[in-house]
Amino acid sequence: MDQQILWQTVLSDLELQVSKAVFQTLLSKIELLSIDNDTAVIGCQQPMLLNLIENRYCPLIKKTLDSYTKKNMRLVFTSKTKAVNKITDGPLFTMPRPQSNTGNFSDVRLNADFTFKNFAVSSSNQMAYAAATAVAHAPGISYNPLFLYGGVGVGKTHLMQAVGHEILKSNPSTKIIYCTGEEFTNDIIEAIGSKTTTPFKKKYRQLDLFMIDDVQFIAGKYSVQEEFFHTFNAIYQLKKQIILTSDRPPEEINKLEERLRSRFEGGLIIDIGQPDFELRTAILLIKAKQRGVNLTIEVAKLLASNVDNIRKLEGVFIRVLSESRTRNIPLDEELVNDVFGKTVKNQLEVNHVAPQQVINAVASYFNLTLSQLKGARRDKYLSRPRQILYYVMRVELGIPLMSIGDLLGGRDHSTVLHGVRKISGLLSTDEKIREDLLGIKNKIMG
């Protein structure tokens, strides 16, 4: 596998294994400088971060890299010297003028893929999309502030950054900052520690567009909330645009000061729901196109029907793509079913779910007794619930095939694997099975 593709694959996998704050603050800063035989050299431009990453996350990085290289890699961490920026003494917000309509917006750290063009719209995010486009065309006038909230992977950051792209396209000299709540906090701490609060205020209070992701992270931090309150007021009074995202609405953010809560609620607050099957399929096709992969609609539907979280869906897609390239085989439905039969994905949003809970939930959902589920009869009204049970225990909880067989009356692991693949294949075409799985998950989660 190409070194760049390998490292992007590893980073995408790591993003699924750690919190968003850890990934953005630490792991996203490292690079694979070289890989030779069994040694990988990993660099970072910030030595203090490098030590922290090596001490805390070396085993996780190694395990993930080993899984893709199929080798026992030795990791070497080294400081990567940052090139001297000759324009650091210039104006604080000077932006290079784009050379084309797409532009290069790396100075404000906007993801090049997070544009309106690449955003798939459905009923779950239609209102948020409409509000974001309105803000992009009339910043500071329509919906100020704009507060987007929702679960992981629903597109909050994508929409926020799409506004930034659209505004920069119209006016490249626009003063923009995109940061996370964690990064804003770190900036304040650094400014206080180095006695540079004046440059800090100049940096944040003279913006045309301020975008802050995961604003809930500033809650409970008195000095951070104090500075954010004044920053918010300064930008708002100049009639400049503010966009915020969170995993919950303002009234549910614990330890958020009331004066901030009231300002957040003074604009437009929109909930972005979890994407349905059709939207997940559309998003996956867009992601594949961005990677230059010709993904068929059948394979996209198969993947989207088996994974209901967008972040995890992208991770599964990367795993399947890696398998395809490593083994030099087509990325087809057979490969997807094979991967679902082997990999552990832990899709259920619950902690410490016991196998017996799943068995009881399936039995209750289909009005069956435990002896019927575990028995030897092969009637269709029994075999299909059993196959769904195999699927939930394997794909959702990651229980080994042989263990599942032992739990269900000593069945052979090949029988379990056949059931997992059967349900995996039917999910893309059978709406009833998708409804059954959702109902079972709801029973498990109470």
> Which tokens sit at 364?
């209750």
267 annotated to bind ligand: no
Residue 99 has pLDDT above 60, yes or no: no
Considering the domain 3-79 in this protein, what is its CATH number?
3.30.300.180
Contacts of 171 (CB under 8 A, 6+ apart): none
What per-residue string of b and e applies to 135-164 under the rule 16 or more CB within 10 Å gives b?
Answer: bbeebbebbbbbbbbbbebbbbbbbbbbbb
Contacts of 4 (CB under 8 A, 6+ apart): none
Q: Where are the domains of the chain?
A: 3-79, 106-272, 277-342, 355-444
153 annotated to bind ligand: yes
Residue 105 has pLDDT above 50, yes or no: no
Residue 330 has pLDDT above 80, yes or no: yes
Among 21-30, 156-165, 427-436, the range of highest mean pLDDT: 156-165
Architecture of domain 106-272: 3-Layer(aba) Sandwich (3.40)
**Residues 226-249 pLDDT 10s:** 989 999 999 999 999 999 999 999
Considering the domain 277-342 in this protein, what is its CATH number?
1.10.8
pLDDT of residue 86: 35
Dihedral sign of CA atoms 64, 68, 72, 75 in order: negative
Share of the chain above pLDDT 90, in %: 25
150 annotated to bind ligand: no
**Residues 377-391 pLDDT 10s:** 888 889 999 999 998
Q: What is the rounded CA–CA span in Å between residue 120 and residue 126? A: 9
Architecture of domain 355-444: Orthogonal Bundle (1.10)
- Write a three-state SS string for 285-306: HHHHHHCCCCCCHHHHHHHHHH
Q: Is 410 left (phi over 0), alpha (psi -120 to 50) or beta?
A: left
**Residues 401-429 pLDDT 10s:** 888 988 888 888 888 888 888 888 888 78
155 annotated to bind ligand: yes
Quick one: average pLDDT of 126-135?
93
Residue 96 has pLDDT above 70, yes or no: no
pLDDT of residue 239: 92
Q: Is there a shared CATH topology between the 3-79 domain and the 106-272 domain?
A: no
Helix, strand, or coil (residue 78): strand
pLDDT of residue 87: 33
pLDDT of residue 165: 94
What mean pLDDT, rounded, does the chain reach? 83
